[in-house]
Structure 1
Amino acid sequence: MTDCGCDKARKDLEEYLRNEICKTERGDIEEHLAHCEGCADEAHVARTLTEVVARACKESAPEELRDLVLAKLREARASV
């Protein structure tokens, strides 16, 4: 494996974080992240953001809020 450099690591970061990259390129990016603090920080931020969004997508709105939104939508449709 060889260090792929900042440009390649940043370009392929999202695919890397979603495990959508080939094994060789994954190893190259991992090696780069181990030695480049800037890219490692960027990867950490992207990973954290991805995890927060994934958790938020699993959460449900309170039933009262859901009912209120549906009622507003019905009102909007009726006035059209």
Structure 2
Amino acid sequence: MTDCGCDKARAELEELLHDELCSEDAADVREHMAGCAECRNEFRVGMVLTEVVQRACRESAPDELRSVVLTRIREIQAVHTAPRAVVD
């Protein structure tokens, strides 16, 4: 294979992180990263960020906090959706 280069590797890192590349493109990017510390490091940063976001999405707020937030949302919605008097 021919090295795909940093431009192509960086352009496809996000798709590689999410397993969205065809096997040939994924292999090209992985081959490039094997010899390019800069792209490999960028990929590692992407992996860490992806893991942190995924973990944060699995976490839920404590029941008391959820209750407070939902109550406040309902209060705001009530103010913004209440019918307004028509002034002639």
TM-score, L = length of structure 2: 0.85
Structure 2 counterpart of 1:31, one-letter code: E
Gaps of 5+ in 2: 81-88
Identity of aligned residues (%): 55
3-state SS of the aligned residue for 1:12? helix
C-alpha separation in 2, matches of 1:26 and 1:78 = 51
Aligned equivalent of 1:58: 58
Q: Deviations over 1:33-74 (max 9, x none)?
A: 111011011000001100110111011111010000011112
Structure 1 residue aligned with 2:83? none
> For the pair shown, which has the larger CA radius of gyration, 1 or 2?
2
Cα separation, 2, equivalents of 1:10 and 1:72: 43
What is the match of residue 72 of structure 2?
A: 72
SS in 2 for 1:57: helix
| Greater than 3 Å deviation, 4+ residue runs | none
TM-aligned CA deviation for residue 78 of structure 1: 2.6
- Amino acid in the other structure paired with 2:34: A
Trace 1:18-33 onto structure 2 (pairs within 5 A). 18-33=18-33
Q: 1:7-52, CA deviations, whole angstroms, 9 ceiling, x for partnerless residues?
A: 0000011111111111111111001111101101100000110011
- Alignment length (residue pairs): 80
RMSD, aligned CA: 0.9
- TM-score (normalised: structure 1): 0.93
Gaps of 5+ in 1: none
